[in-house]
Each structure stands twice: as structure tokens, then as C-alpha cells.
Structure 1
């Protein structure tokens, strides 16, 4: 591992797959040993995992790619092609995750770090959290899916402004435009993100998977197609173990027990 800290790349704790994507080494730039380990863990996801947590181990969530490594490469284009391929394998695995993805966004999320925030289902930051595309500053175009995800979050016009002007977005603005779900005290970002991830572990996992599928297809579906998908989904859920437990618990006025259901 290229980091200077003994940080686990990917570990499942109490049903949450915790993926570290950057450490304090090299200014909390993205660590591709960790990214590649995360890709492998996401591809091997099993029924014991109910949520994914993305986190940085240093002062920042992720400050983007290591620009010094870019500069030192003999063929910079070939090097960036390789790194983008590795990052995009991770992004594809993350997008295919059937369980909710939570990002604990402390400090800066810049460049590809911001792309990861855009890819999370829920992103929790603190008052000191800041986001920045950071690509124009080094004369590069985006990677990590930012040119796809950002317009879908903030709208096409605002995405153009953010990317072209290399805007620095503070926590309050990030919540307002939907890049962050909400903020908590800086010192509570990781704990609160982990708490939220744990709620998905004990919740109706099949329901979350169904919701994610519907949300993923909605940008390209017509209303008519989406209504058909929702009808099919809710009917199938009603006869599933999860749906039966949820309805039966509601009628019995008890808390549903979803653990072990699929």
C-alpha cells in the first residue's frame, strides 16, 4: 500500500462496508491502492452488507488526484488514462451497488473527490466542508463521472458555471443545491455518517434496492414507463418477505424486524 498509515482499504463492520479513499499521505490525495481494493470489495458484495460508507482518513475527504504523480509520469496522457480507468471501475462498481452509499465528507472534496460525493446516495458534511472541481486549475477536464452526475444534481446551467469557473462551494451552498444532503458539527461528520449507514443495515434492504433501481432509471424513462415500473415494483414488494413483514408489523403496531429478510 502506498499510504503511510495502516488504514484498512475495505472492511465490513456491523454490516457496513467501509471504504477509505484517501489518507493524510500526499495531502489527502486519492490513493489508488485503496480505490482498487474498494472496487474489488464492491464487486464481491454479499448479503451481509447493508450499506457502503465512503470516508477519508485524513483532514479531508479527498483532495483529488496526486498532481505530483501526474507531473512525474513519463507519458502523462497514458498515466492519466490508466488512473481514470481504475477510478471509473470503482465508480461503476459503486453505481451498481444494490445498497445505499453514504459519504462522510469532512474538509475538502476536490477533483475526483467531488466526483465521489456526487456519486453517493447520501453525503453528510460539516460547516468547514468545501467542494471544488479543481480541474481548470491544472488544465484538465473532469473524470469520475462529474460531467454526468453534476448536471443531474444541480441542473445543466449551474453545472456549467461550477465546472467552468472552478467554483469553491461551501457547506451551506452545497446543501442548498443538493451536493450535500445536510451538515452536522465537523467533529461529528464521520460518526453521523456511520450512524446513517447502520440504519440501512437494519432497515428493509430489498426496499432500498428497489428504490435505487427506480431512481437510477428515472432520468431516461418517460412518466408512463416510470409509472409502470413503480406499479410492478410495489406489487412484487407486497408479496416479498420484506413487504409482508412491514405491512404485518404496521397492522400489529410493532416495530418491523427486517434483519435476515431479502
Structure 2
């Protein structure tokens, strides 16, 4: 399928998705979500074992497109809760429930719902000149697309409250220090670094990696008792995979395991 608002390229079991509306700073519309959904489903069906999400041009994503474009997009509806329910929430859940890892390459500003997309990465690599901004309060709205949970679970209530209430930019250095992103990269190396990480993960035990990402995401809001039960159940599943059997064989033969994602 040819896409109008995104690009999708696959190499070595890694599919790189880019928001491709650079003239709008990669602002989000329902059509963007539709194309991303299709690209993800197609890549998974074709055996993708990791994803990278980034943006074209100088921004990662400026958030929701607030204005009509004269080319079929009518702008935001009167009932914002409906567009969140129909498009934003399902896509955030889709990213968080992926069976394979997601690395985000935050190549430029990530604002509003764009910040949410940036922080869904299991590992977020941020350009040194980029910034994050929970801009919702500046236009009289509240965080959406999972931003409240993604930020608060990363940095705690006080810092999350300040970001949401003050609506101020967070520099790359501060984002790293606060724990919002995993690492920084030079601007011209951000995507390459994210792809390098994704390629390494794609060569790993994919079943176990998928279970790990779900286990960690669940742990931040569950009790120790529930986490222990999840660990038990996931370990049982991982223990029956071909990748685990290969790891045991490789250990005995003193060689590096060759994981197949099965």
C-alpha cells in the first residue's frame, strides 16, 4: 500500500515508520493513525521483529492537527472525547500491546499527543536539540493519548504535575535526567542509533522480549503479588519456546545462540 502521510521501510526484520507531514510538523490526523495501523499490521504479518518510530523533517510530532487543511481533513470535531476514543486511545493501546519491541527516534520536538507517541517506545532515543512539551494546558485541554500515564509512570507525580500544569518545554538533557528517555544522540545520528538498537532486539528471543515489554508495562501499576504471578506465567511461556532451547544448547556448546523468534 502506498502511504500519503507516513513512510514505512523494512530492513533486517526492523520496520521503520516515519510520520511524513513535515510541512505540518508531522501533526496527527485520523488518516495518519489509519496508515500507521495498516503499516504495523502489514509488517507484523510479514515477520517484522522490531519497529522504529520517528518523524520526517525537523519535528518528531507536533501533536493533533488543530486546523482543517482543505484536502479532506476537517479539523478537530466539537466532541474531542469522541476522537480520542475512536483514534487516539486505540492506537496508543496498539503500540503498548505490540508483540515485538518499539524504539522511538525523537528527531525533533515531540508535543502534546506527539509526546505520547514518543514515550511509547520501549527505548526512546532523543536528539540533543529536541524537546518534549505537554502543551495541552496552553490551549485549555488535558493530556491525552496516554500522556498522563506515560509521563507519571516515568518521573513521578510531582514532576508530571509540573510538566502538565506549567506547559513548558523539557530539553533533551532534562528529559534524560528525569528518566523520560533512555539516551541522547547527536541530531544526525538519532535515527541510526534507534535502528541500531532495534536491529539488536530483532535478533534476540522475540517471544521473551514481547513478554518482557508487557511485563514491565504492567508492573508500574500492579502490586508485587500480581507482578510475581505475571512473572511466573510469562516464564512458563518463555520456557517452552524454541529460542530458550537454542540458548541452552548454545550454552552447552560454548557458542552464541541464534534466535529465531519462535
Distance 1:74 1:102 in 2: 29
- Does 2:201 align with 1:200? yes
Distance 2:76 2:252 in 1: 65
- Does 2:98 align with 1:97? yes
Question: What's 1:55 paired with?
Answer: 54
Structure 1 window deviating more from structure 2 (46-55 vs 116-125): it is 46-55
User: Do 1:102 and 1:123's aligned partners in 2 also have CA atoms closer than 8 Å?
Assistant: yes
Structure 1 window deviating more from structure 2 (237-246 vs 200-209): it is 237-246
**Offset, 1:75:** 7.5
1:87–1:13 distance in 2 versus 1, CA, 3 Å: farther
**Offset, 1:209:** 1.2
Question: What's 1:18 paired with?
Answer: 16
Distance 1:69 1:80 in 2: 18
Distance 2:56 2:222 in 1: 39
User: Do 2:59 and 2:107's aligned partners in 1 also have CA atoms closer than 8 Å?
Assistant: yes
User: Do 2:132 and 2:169's aligned partners in 1 also have CA atoms closer than 8 Å?
Assistant: yes
Q: Note the alpha carbon deviations across 1:226-247, whole angstroms, 9 max, x for none.
A: 2233234334423321111112
Q: Note the alpha carbon deviations across 1:169-223, whole angstroms, 9 max, x for none.
A: 0011101111111001110001111111111211110110121222132134322
Distance 1:117 1:27 in 2: 14
Residue aligned with 2:220, SS: helix
Question: What's 1:112 paired with?
Answer: 113
Query: Residue 35 of structure 1 is aligned with which of 29, 33, 36?
Result: 33
Distance 2:144 2:250 in 1: 45
What stretches of structure 1 move > 6 A for 4+ residues in a row?
none
Q: How does 1:178-189 map to 2 (within 5 A)?
A: 178-189=179-190
Q: Note the alpha carbon deviations across 1:40-59, whole angstroms, 9 max, x for none.
A: 33345336111111110111
Query: What is the RMSD computed on CA atoms of the aligned residues?
Result: 2.6
User: Do 2:126 and 2:184's aligned partners in 1 also have CA atoms closer than 8 Å?
Assistant: yes
Distance 2:212 2:75 in 1: 46
Q: How does 1:1-262 map to 2 (within 5 A)?
A: 8-43=6-41, 45-46=44-45, 48-69=47-68, 76-78=77-79, 81-82=82-83, 85-259=86-260, 261-262=261-262
Distance 1:129 1:74 in 2: 26
Distance 1:231 1:138 in 2: 45
Residue aligned with 1:52, SS: strand
User: Do 1:10 and 1:37's aligned partners in 2 also have CA atoms closer than 8 Å?
Assistant: no
Distance 2:195 2:76 in 1: 40
Q: Note the alpha carbon deviations across 1:42-100, whole angstroms, 9 max, x for none.
A: 34533611111111011111111222339x96874236733663222211211110111
TM-score by length of 2: 0.87
Residue aligned with 2:125, SS: strand
- Where does structure 2 lack aligned partners over 5 or more consecutive residues? none
Distance 1:76 1:229 in 2: 40
TM-score by length of 1: 0.87
